[in-house]
């Protein structure tokens, strides 16, 4: 039943309700697909038994006409989400063997909506990376190849395993997390849809923390409608996360009216960066033309502090990471390397447990927070964040959403860009500002580059206006009619 894995999440949902196939058949087809894509290394842990158990429950409910929003739909979970009794590594050696005794709120919400777990997906260690090459469990390969070139490519990161699994038709959808672009950039590289909701929309409780003021969970799917369905299941207020916002969760699928007439789309001039691939510029122009044809009005806007978003991010994120990652001390969970003294045990454990990129960021974070440097770095970066948020607030007086490319380049080969951290950081130049300002954003596959690889366009919206973002994204999706497969 391999055709079942070709269905969109929405079509699979409708097919189950129409009794065209059972949840068990749907789960089995996806379990087989997960096995088939093993060479991509997209999963750290596979949970076929959980999938079949969930499917059995789903079939019972479907038979009784009691299907919930995501009843029987097999999805993959980024290994950053704590899943009760199921290994959760965050892609790190230091969490060896960690089986959380609790379930993250977002995954609990998904199971409450009837979704079924296929496994835990590979990722950059502690979500720090744009390539999925920093995982202790090895890099993930993208299912895509450049035209006429068989070298393995990265799926993007940090939610690279989730992106690869969804692109390769091994899951109907997957969770991701996005601190600086970790949902949207891999979605763009892998030819799928990835959405980072507004900060506060999804609970962070039970998600291994990277940079708490930036981290946000979101869906990765093959269509915008699927993202709307999955976000609806993931989102919601949670008293256990004090930054989770107490607002009703709208029916996001209803927002997909196809009508964008009269909306104003902002085009920020600062996103035309030097050295950007001309194809990406052309695709951006194409996206503008598509939306104009659908009846939107375009507005030239300015986000003058865009250039400073990445440097501000590389202070704020490492600073928060250095304090969040202080908990990995060899005492309470995960790896422990023995030492003669307590400090020696800490130091040896953390030296062995953290990879190079994580060590680099923890050390940068430690430095910028240390006495005498706090104001010069951390406070300065927080001031820049205020200015970036103000830029967006100013822009949204003139427009309803903003259209930009998702990434300045297409996927690169496994092993490339590893010697220059800053070159790697530049992958997130268009996505980071949205995190710093807490705004919702989505990446939609919009075309192929000359190398035959997917390119994405990003729609950014006002805080808590995921509905308009999704509506515009769906219109873009229809116009782009992206039918390419890896």
Partner 1 sequence: MALDRDTVRNIATLARIRVEDNELDALAGELSNILTFVEQLNEVDTKGVEPMTSVVAMQLPRRPDEVTDGNIQNKILANAPEGTRGFFAVPKVVE
Q: Which residues are catalytic, by number?
A: 78, 158, 182
> Is 438 an interacting residue with respect to partner 1 (CB under 8 A)?
yes
Strands 74-78 and 116-121 turn out to be parallel
Region binding partner 1 by CB under 8 A among candidate stretches 50-58, 130-138, 431-439, 449-457: 431-439
Please report whether residue 307 would count as binding partner 1 according to CB under 8 A.
yes
Q: What share of the chain is helix, strand, coil (3-state, %, to 5)?
A: 45, 15, 45
Cα distances (angstroms) measured from residue 380 to each of 302, 377, 383, 386: 22, 5, 5, 10
Q: Tell which positions 103-122 bind partner 1, by CB under 8 A.
A: none
Q: Which is nearer to partner 1, 222 or 305 (CB)?
A: 305
The one among 48, 152, 311, 486 contacting partner 1 by CB under 8 A = 311
Give whichever of 201 and 225 is closer to partner 1, judged by the CB atom.
201
Measured between alpha carbons, how far is 330 from 348 in angstroms, rounded to an integer? 9
Report the residue from 56, 308, 416, 479 that binds partner 1 according to the rule CB under 8 A: 308
User: By C-beta, is 31 or 82 nearer to partner 1?
Assistant: 82
Residue (of 399, 461, 403, 397) closest to 264 by Cα position: 399
35 binds partner 1 (CB under 8 A): no
Q: Is 408 in the site for partner 1 (CB under 8 A)?
A: no
Q: With respect to partner 1, which residue has the nearer C-beta, 289 or 342?
A: 342
The correct pick among 436, 448, 457, 480 for binding partner 1 (CB under 8 A) is 436
Cα–Cα distance for residue pair 9/70, rounded to 1 Å:
9
- Scanning 55-63, 92-100, 132-140, 407-415 for contacts with partner 1 by CB under 8 A, the matching segment is 92-100
Neighbouring-strand partners of residue 119: 46, 76
Select from 225, 305, 417, 471 the one that contacts partner 1 (CB under 8 A): 305
Q: Is the distance from CB of 414 to CB of 420 less than 8 angstroms?
A: no
Query: Which of 1, 138, 239, 327 is in the footprint of partner 1 by CB under 8 A?
Result: 239
Interaxial angle between packed helices 23-36 and 48-63, expressed in degrees from 0 to 180 and rounded to the nearest 10: 160
Q: Which of residues 194-233 bind partner 1 (CB under 8 A)?
A: 198-200, 213-214
Positions in 321-360 near partner 1 (CB under 8 A):
322, 326, 329-336, 338-348, 350-351, 354, 359-360
Determine, following the binding rule CB under 8 A, whether residue 245 of this chain makes contact with partner 1: yes
Please report whether residue 33 would count as binding partner 1 according to CB under 8 A: no
Q: With contacts defined by CB under 8 A, name the span among 37-45, 184-192, 264-272, 380-388 that binds partner 1.
A: 380-388
Rounded least distance, CB 200 to partner 1, Å: 5
Helix axes 278-293, 466-480, angle to 10 degrees: 100
The nearest distance, CB 325 to partner 1, in angstroms, is: 9
Q: How far is the CB of 103 from partner 1 (least distance, A)?
A: 12
Omega of the bond prior to 158 within 30 degrees of 0, cis?
yes
Please list, in sequence order, all residues whose beta carbon lies within 8 angstroms of the beta carbon of residue 91, skipping any fewer than 6 positions away.
44, 79, 80, 122, 123, 124, 125, 126, 127, 134, 135, 136, 137, 158
List binders of partner 1 among 145-174 (CB under 8 A): none
* 302 φ, ψ (degrees, to nearest 5): -125, 130
Q: Does 469 bind partner 1 (CB under 8 A)?
A: no
Name the residue nearer to partner 1 (CB basis): 39 or 338: 338
Q: Which of 273, 299, 387, 413 binds partner 1 (CB under 8 A)?
A: 387
The DSSP H or E segment spanning 308 is none
Q: Are 26 and 105 in contact (CB under 8 A)?
A: no
Structure tokens at 113: 């909506």
Report if residue 303 touches partner 1, rule: CB under 8 A: no
- Would you count residue 379 as binding partner 1 (CB under 8 A)? yes
Beta carbon of residue 271, minimum distance to partner 1 (angstroms, whole number): 18
Distance CA 177, CA 331 (A): 27
Tokens for 3, please give them: 């055709």
Contact between 381 and partner 1 by CB under 8 A: the answer reads yes
Report the first-to-last Cα separation within the chain, whole angstroms: 19
Q: Which is nearer to partner 1, 168 or 368 (CB)?
A: 368
Does 463 sit near partner 1 (CB under 8 A)?
Answer: yes
* 210 versus 482: smaller Cβ distance to partner 1: 210
Q: What is the DSSP string of 119-167?
A: EEE--SGGG--SSS-S-TT-PPPPS---TT----B---SSSHHHHHHHH
Considering the rule CB under 8 A, would residue 99 count as an interface residue with partner 1? yes
Name the burial class of residue 323, with classes exposed (0-12), middle (13-18) and buried (19+) by CB atoms within 10 angstroms of its CB: middle
* Contact residue for partner 1 among 277, 286, 298, 366 (CB under 8 A): 366
Closest CB to partner 1 among 74 and 200?
A: 200
Cβ proximity to partner 1, 22 vs 203, nearer residue: 203
- Is residue 315 part of the contact set for partner 1 (CB under 8 A)? yes
3-state SS class at 400? coil
Question: Count of residues binding partner 1 (CB under 8 A)?
Answer: 75
């Amino acid at each position: 039943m391999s055709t079942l894995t070709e269905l969109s999440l929405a079509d699979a949902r409708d097919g189950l309700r129409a009794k065209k196939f059972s949840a068990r058949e749907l789960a089995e087809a996806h379990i087989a697909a997960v096995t088939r894509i093993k060479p991509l290394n997209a999963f750290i842990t596979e949970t076929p038994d959980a999938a079949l158990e969930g499917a059995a429950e789903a079939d019972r409910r479907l038979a009784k006409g009691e299907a919930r929003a995501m009843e029987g739909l097999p999805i993959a979970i980024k290994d950053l989400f704590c899943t009760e009794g199921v290994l959760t590594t965050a892609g790190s050696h230091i969490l060896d063997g960690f089986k959380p005794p609790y379930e993250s709120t977002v995954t609990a919400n998904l199971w409450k909506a009837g979704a079924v777990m296929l496994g835990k997906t590979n990722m950059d260690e502690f979500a720090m990376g744009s390539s999925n090459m920093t995982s202790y469990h090895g890099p993930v390969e993208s299912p895509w190849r450049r035209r006429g070139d068989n070298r393995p490519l990265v799926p993007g990161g940090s939610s690279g395993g989730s992106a690869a699994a969804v692109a390769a038709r091994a899951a109907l959808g997957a969770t991701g997390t996005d601190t600086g672009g970790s949902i949207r950039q891999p979605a763009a590289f892998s030819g799928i849809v990835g959405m980072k909701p507004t900060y506060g929309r999804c609970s962070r409780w039970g998600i291994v923390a990277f940079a708490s003021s930036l981290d946000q969970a979101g869906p990765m799917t093959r269509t915008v409608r699927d993202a709307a369905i999955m976000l609806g299941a993931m989102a919601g207020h949670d008293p256990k996360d004090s930054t989770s916002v107490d607002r009703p969760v709208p029916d996001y699928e209803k927002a997909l009216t196809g009508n964008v007439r009269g909306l104003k789309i902002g085009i920020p001039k600062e996103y035309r960066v030097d050295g950007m691939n001309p194809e990406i510029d052309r695709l951006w122009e194409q996206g503008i033309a598509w939306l104009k044809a659908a009846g939107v009005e375009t507005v030239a806007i300015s986000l003058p502090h865009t250039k400073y978003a990445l440097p501000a991010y590389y202070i704020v994120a490492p600073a928060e990471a250095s304090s969040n990652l202080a908990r990995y001390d060899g005492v309470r969970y995960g790896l422990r390397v023995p030492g003669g003294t307590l400090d020696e045990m800490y130091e040896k454990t953390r030296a062995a447990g953290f990879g190079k990129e994580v060590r680099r960021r923890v050390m940068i974070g430690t430095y910028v927070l240390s006495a005498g440097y706090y104001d010069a770095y951390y406070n300065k970066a927080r001031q820049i964040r205020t200015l970036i948020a103000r830029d967006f607030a100013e822009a949204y007086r003139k427009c309803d959403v903003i259209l930009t490319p998702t990434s300045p380049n297409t996927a690169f080969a496994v092993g490339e860009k590893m010697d220059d951290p800053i070159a790697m950081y530049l992958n997130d130049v268009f996505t980071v500002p949205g995190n710093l300002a807490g705004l919702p954003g989505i990446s939609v596959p919009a075309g192929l580059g000359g190398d035959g690889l997917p390119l994405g366009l990003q729609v950014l919206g006002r805080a808590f206006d995921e509905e308009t973002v999704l509506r515009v994204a769906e219109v873009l999706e229809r116009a782009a009619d992206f039918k390419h497969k890896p």
